[in-house]
Structure 1
Amino acid sequence: MTTDTQVAQAPGSLLGRARKGVLWVSVVVYGSKVLNVATTLILARILAPEDYGLLAAASVVVAALVVFTDMGLGTAIVQSKADRQRMASTAFFLMPAIGLLLYLVAFASAGTLADLLNSPRSENLIRVVSLSLLLGSFATVPAALLEKDMAYKRKAIPDLVPTFVYIAVTLVLATAFDAGPYSLAIGSVSSTVAAVVLVWAVSSWRPSWCFDWAIAKQLVSFGKHVLGGGVIIYVTTNMDNIFVSRVEGPAALGLYGLAYSLANLPATHIADVIGRVLLPSFVQMNDDLARLRRNYVRSLKLITLVVSPVVAGLAATSPVLVPVLLGPKWEPMVPALALLLVFGGIRSVAGSTGSLLLAVGRPGVIFVTGLTGLALQAIALPVFLLVLDMGVTGAGLAVALASLVNSALIMAVVQRMLHFSGRRTLALGTRRLLPAALMGGVVWGVGTALPVALPTLLLQVVLGAALYVGFLVLINGRAPIDEARALTGR
């Protein structure tokens, strides 16, 4: 059985282990996302926007309960330095009890909650999807321990294989049985079952019959700040869904929900590859401020290098990409998709910064800074949806503005904490983002001048890649390329 001491003494530098972690997390995240995108493209032509909207309404309810299912204990396990076996066993016995309680709450209140969302057809979908609350609780502890040990190679199987299960079940139900939104719901639950089985198969840890109240209090004490931040994140990321569902109905929610999901692929999930590895890495260097600052800056440079061209490129091509790949029925979501993509890129930087704050024991900062963004979103959503009647586009604009403010606040806190030079940071950020902005402008112009067709989209992609590399080297020299090679060990 692997112990924390053995992990700490594992051969190879921390940077080397982090590089391997990035590689394996990349395999999982990129592999699953590529598969999910392909599935989305197929399902978008089979299912109607309303089908996605019905599931999105159910997901609003389940997402609220998921925050309380974990209660921040997964992150607390990664951060905790208590006795491994007693700590993990204590957390293990907490999780299923919480999951069962929350599932019963979801089952009993499904009808009322569906009516509140102006989506009564989502009632039974809530009951189906909520099964993941109970089932997933059994995987939290072994998955967190694998992440704590930076054992991403072993974790790749339970992280990636469930995606195949989801795709297979969803496509069969949607095409062969015409199950509509239930194909998405049952596919999601099936993937959760696969994930639970596989994470236990690859984990060498097994619980002991012990429960330490002192350790439980420590975990909950740390987790309550993560939980508080999770509540803020939930409200911030679902308030828009609630407003769209109540004001515009399930079909509009389907358009907005798919736009939001696609917008988060290049931003949140690319940054998540690095952020998931950064947390345990930062935990092990949080006593060395200079080293922490140096590696944090490196991570931001890498995130910007990867995220900015993808975000700018997708935003610029969205007027062509959506009708060509998804079909004309999805065209109303294009403006919202472009807004969410651009500001999602900014949000991804703040997301990786969250790993730093958790590692240094400052989870409360995430909670406090999130309040301002939440308040702004609460003001902007009714203005854009009710007063200005901007529909799906208004919801995207409200979320974009709130994300921008929240990201700026988090970065300001980190800047003071790590003693950054504000002028130097702004200059560096401008040089790194300008190539993507210039590339996006040219690519968008090409799209408006040519017919909306697959050849135009392919031309935009090839042209965008060439322009970004050219602008990057022209403005920054070879520095970004050398930094990327240093981080990847090449």
Structure 2
Amino acid sequence: MTTGSGADRTLGARSASATLWGGVNMALGRIVQFATTIIVARMIAPEHFGALAVAIVVQTIATNMAELGATAALARGNGDPDRIGPTVFSISLVTSAVMTAGAVLLAPALAAAFDDPAATPVIQVLSLTILFQGIGAVPSTMVWREFLQKPRVVVDVGSVAVVLVLVVPMALDGWGAMALAWSRVGGQFFAMVGYWVITPRRYAPGFDRAVAKEVLRLGMPLAMANLVVFVTLNMDYLLIGRMLDPAALGLYLLAFNLAGLPSSVITAVIRATAVPTFGRLFAEGTLGELAGRFVAGVSYCAFPISAMIIALAEPLMVTAYGQTWAPAGIALATLGVFGAARILVELFADLSVGAGRTVWLFWVQVVWLVALTPALYFSIRWWGIAGAGVAHAAVACLIVIPTYVMVLASVLGVRAGELLRGSIAPLAAAMVAGFLARIATFSITDPVMALVLGCCLGGSAYALLTFRQGKVLLRTVRGLLRKGQPLPGNTPAMEGRP
């Protein structure tokens, strides 16, 4: 179970240590990013955030298609990077350049599709980040593959800090949405350079037809799945932009980002090590027996945070961004349910990639998109931006999660109930904690006081209800961090029993 970084370091120990540093990375990065959003939200009108939302949709879809999923072959940790790296770099470089040029040329048409012509220059500027990500794709993947999360902290936090340093003076000078776009370009450039500095190996462009066929066989279904999932997760922006107005889209963007904060942090921490770890465990034949414990551990950490967001949506929105953004509170409450579901969905996707089943992953995303599109249309038509959250939550909980569970049960050779059993206790405890927080703060008019009281009460209730599970989970993590301790094969640490 040892890897190339030293015979005395097991996969479990390396993975746990990297996950710890990934957590530090995400915590620092998100704190700076959240502070940046709070500052800018008080300087820029909601419609400017609406233009940024349009540009982010285009950028995100193009970025995740840019290297055609080729970096997945490096990330899984099974192939020889010296053989794969040059070809993957060439694919990433060419495709990201094509995507960048396409986004610049098609920006007017893309902005018109969202019924927001003001987004055209924002799309064109933000498209530069596609090229920078393509140039840094192989170095960042090598850092990921080799569990180098400690030096990655400097790069990622530095990138977010660059955004903050650039965006504030630009916003004060009246740049509007362009301040948001140019600052992100600066942050991405810093990240690109940083990954090239810390990567353990650097490769020049090269091309091997046999390698290209190999990596694209794995990567193309993943790239298509990424395309579908990002269309799915941004369909709400398209429909809100066309059915409502830019101000409503700006309100929804901040609500969606705030609701997704737990999922983005937790899944980013997991992804610091997930695919390389899952790939190795699948090759050893132990991923199936451990998958349910991963699900239980993630659920334990994620569900109470989402419960507090749902229960304290309005005071949270006002405290963070000011009274101007209070109308977004109703959307935040419904999106909080989706935030919790999305954490499980992202973990299931990583398990699928680790098992090498990217074709299955693609078809699950297709099912998701087909179900979500009409649900979003009618929900937005009936309930406005709050309806988008309702549609997301309903489709994720009733269709996407059950589909993933059936697929993974077949791929990993486990029963469906084993994957979800450990998440039942955290879910029940989080619901109780959220209910108590909501009842206790219902009549409090001061948003800060309501937020503090609700979090303290809800957090205490959750800790008491899940005390035994939390204690055993903590002991398991400490064991993994000790040198030489393997990943648990039969410990009940993540069983999820109260």
Deviation at 1:412, TM superposition (A): 2.2
Deviation at 1:17, TM superposition (A): 0.5
CA contact (8 A) 1:374 1:402 kept: no
Q: Distance in 1 between matches of 2:213 and 2:152?
A: 28
Q: Distance in 2 between matches of 1:225 and 1:242?
A: 25
Q: Work out which of the residue numbers 183, 186, 201 in structure 2 matches 1:187.
A: 183
Once the two structures are superposed, what CA deviation does each residue of 1:227-257 show, in whole Å capped at 9, x if it has no partner?
Answer: 1110111111111110011111211111111
1:269–1:161: structure 2 CA closer, same or farther, 3 Å change rule?
A: same
Q: Work out which of the residue numbers 162, 167, 171 in structure 2 matches 1:170.
A: 167
List alignment gaps of at least 5 residues for structure 1.
none
1:287–1:207: structure 2 CA closer, same or farther, 3 Å change rule?
A: closer
Q: How does 1:102-251 map to 2 (within 5 A)?
A: 102-175=99-172, 177-208=173-204, 210-251=206-247
1:333–1:454: structure 2 CA closer, same or farther, 3 Å change rule?
A: same
Q: Distance in 2 between matches of 1:73 and 1:94?
A: 7
1:154–1:428: structure 2 CA closer, same or farther, 3 Å change rule?
A: closer
Q: Work out which of the residue numbers 265, 268, 277 in structure 1 matches 2:273.
A: 277
Q: Work out which of the residue numbers 442, 446, 470 in structure 2 matches 1:448.
A: 442
- Residues 1:100 and 2:97 are matched in the alignment: yes
Q: Distance in 2 between matches of 1:155 and 1:321?
A: 31
Q: Distance in 1 between matches of 2:426 and 2:380?
A: 34
Which residue matches 2:373?
A: 378
Q: Distance in 2 between matches of 1:427 and 1:75?
A: 30
Q: Work out which of the residue numbers 330, 334, 338 in structure 2 matches 1:335.
A: 330
Q: Work out which of the residue numbers 387, 390, 398 in structure 2 matches 1:397.
A: 390
1:143–1:83: structure 2 CA closer, same or farther, 3 Å change rule?
A: same
Once the two structures are superposed, what CA deviation does each residue of 1:80-128 show, in whole Å capped at 9, x if it has no partner?
Answer: 6443223101111222221221111111111121112110011111110
Deviation at 1:62, TM superposition (A): 1.8
CA contact (8 A) 1:65 1:102 kept: yes
- Residues 1:266 and 2:256 are matched in the alignment: no
Which residue matches 1:432?
A: 426
Which residue matches 1:484?
A: 474
CA contact (8 A) 1:69 1:133 kept: yes
- Residues 1:471 and 2:465 are matched in the alignment: yes
Which residue matches 2:451?
A: 457
Which residue matches 1:357?
A: 352
Deviation at 1:305, TM superposition (A): 1.2
SS in 2 for 1:370: helix
Deviation at 1:213, TM superposition (A): 1.2
Q: Distance in 1 between matches of 2:332 and 2:17?
A: 33
Q: Distance in 2 between matches of 1:227 and 1:424?
A: 29
Deviates more, 1:420-429 or 1:455-464: 420-429
Q: Distance in 2 between matches of 1:454 and 1:103?
A: 43
Deviation at 1:303, TM superposition (A): 0.7
Q: Distance in 2 between matches of 1:6 and 1:21?
A: 14
TM-score computed with the length of structure 2 as normaliser: 0.92
Deviates more, 1:195-204 or 1:453-462: 453-462
Deviation at 1:425, TM superposition (A): 5.5
Q: Work out which of the residue numbers 388, 412, 415 in structure 1 matches 2:409.
A: 415
Once the two structures are superposed, what CA deviation does each residue of 1:275-329 show, in whole Å capped at 9, x if it has no partner?
Answer: 331211111121343x323332222122111101111012111121112331222
Deviation at 1:67, TM superposition (A): 2.2
SS in 2 for 1:167: helix
CA contact (8 A) 1:78 1:144 kept: yes
1:85–1:361: structure 2 CA closer, same or farther, 3 Å change rule?
A: same
Q: Distance in 2 between matches of 1:392 and 1:423?
A: 34
Q: Distance in 2 between matches of 1:48 and 1:311?
A: 27
Deviates more, 1:10-19 or 1:420-429: 420-429
CA contact (8 A) 2:300 2:423 kept: no
Q: Distance in 2 between matches of 1:63 and 1:187?
A: 16
Deviation at 1:422, TM superposition (A): 4.5
Which residue matches 1:83?
A: 80
Q: Distance in 1 between matches of 2:17 and 2:211?
A: 31
Q: Work out which of the residue numbers 30, 52, 57 in structure 2 matches 1:60.
A: 57
SS in 2 for 1:361: coil
SS in 2 for 1:410: helix
CA contact (8 A) 2:299 2:427 kept: yes
Identity of paired residues, percent?
26
Which residue matches 1:305?
A: 300
Q: Distance in 1 between matches of 2:77 and 2:419?
A: 32
Cα RMSD (Å) of the superposition?
A: 1.9
The residue identity in structure 1 corresponding to 2:344 is V
Q: Distance in 2 between matches of 1:334 and 1:145?
A: 40
Which residue matches 1:27?
A: 24
State the aligned residue count.
478
Deviation at 1:155, TM superposition (A): 2.2
Deviation at 1:53, TM superposition (A): 0.3
1:154–1:424: structure 2 CA closer, same or farther, 3 Å change rule?
A: closer
Which residue matches 2:493?
A: none
Q: Distance in 2 between matches of 1:100 and 1:422?
A: 43
Q: Distance in 1 between matches of 2:13 and 2:95?
A: 37
TM-score computed with the length of structure 1 as normaliser: 0.93
Q: Distance in 1 between matches of 2:290 and 2:231?
A: 31
Q: Work out which of the residue numbers 53, 71, 74 in structure 2 matches 1:74.
A: 71
List, as ranges, runs of 4+ consecutive aligned residues in structure 1 with deviation greater than 6 Å: none
Deviation at 1:210, TM superposition (A): 3.6
Which residue matches 2:290?
A: 295
Deviation at 1:209, TM superposition (A): 5.9
CA contact (8 A) 1:143 1:199 kept: yes
List alignment gaps of at least 5 residues for structure 2.
482-498
